[in-house]
Amino acid sequence: MYRSKFRPACWLKNRHAQTIYPSLAWAHTPWPKLRSENIELRDGDTMVVTWLKELSTNDTSPPTLIVLHGLEGSPNSSYARMLLQAAATRNWRAAVLNFSDCNKYRNRLPRAYHAGTTKFIRFFIEHLRTKADQGPIIAVGYSMGGNILLKYLGEEGISTPLHAAAAISVPLNLHISSKALTQGFSKIYQNYLLIRMKKSVRLKFDQYTTAFDWQRAMKARTFAEFDDAVTAPLHGFSGKDEYYDCCSSRDYLKKIRRPTLIINSLDDPFMTPEIIPVQDQLSDSITLEVSEHGGHVGFISGGTPWRPEYYLPKRITNFLASKITEPRE
């Protein structure tokens, strides 16, 4: 573990301000040109991938960047747009995986997505490998998407086709994160996300035939209550505790065998500092960068309120670019 070089903008040091600001209309995050692709899965389900429209390049096998968004996120999330734009400047291919029931996408089967859903990234990577002109494959996950990515890397170990990865503001221990979001101002984020999650449930499921307790789901006031009522039974867990135990990525870090950058801040309102793993929980392939400030997927480093500067896109792409040319084990 090492201390991050990130320093917050002098006009935006508060952790909640760092977290909220990138989503504001005047935050000047780019709107890259995108296209969508529907992919059929072997089990009869479907997934949607949103691609960055490719730029002209002489490189016949450019790297492909896979982006995993956070809870209730999408390709339109500010962090995803900024990373896609950074990829475009390097002439990389880039795609955002749309998790089930996020944005306007609804999958076919009676399931949603959760913090341990590694099926979709695994399938998509296999899909990419069928393409003849495929260059190195790299991946970045934010928040819950970061948890999924780290869990996948731990499950696959040396077998993953990924060359390198990065995970940002990761709830490495779901028990800790769930509890942190019931404290103080952090309850605002929890309430906002629960409203969106319940809306997705109402759009997808029928209260008279669903496999979970509809009334408990609609009355849930915390993530723990919602996960116990909906997420766990939908995905074969006995309850939220088994779900959190099985899907917390901190337990998979020791098994990661590809160069992986993890960036977390100590003032992240979605978790507490105790979530940061100690050195003997990490594999030698992991670079753990810890910042005093940054909030949750914020990391605004300078500029002005009308033209802010963001730390993450350059830091992430520099790390990945440095690892692409390294030989894999």
Active site residues: 143, 268, 296
Token duo for residue 211: 């496999």
Q: CA 195, CA 144: separation in Å to the nearest integer?
A: 17
Contact 75, 109 (CB under 8 A): no
Q: CA 136, CA 117: separation in Å to the nearest integer?
A: 23
Q: CA 265, CA 276: separation in Å to the nearest integer?
A: 9
Q: CA 243, CA 252: separation in Å to the nearest integer?
A: 15
Contact 122, 151 (CB under 8 A): no
Token duo for residue 134: 């495929």
- As a whole number of Å, the CA-based R_g of the chain is 19
Contact 52, 32 (CB under 8 A): yes
Closest CA to 2 of 182, 177, 264, 190: 264
Contact 172, 193 (CB under 8 A): no
Token duo for residue 80: 């995803």
Q: CA 97, CA 40: separation in Å to the nearest integer?
A: 13
Amino acid at 107: N
Amino acid at 184: G
Q: CA 163, CA 269: separation in Å to the nearest integer?
A: 31
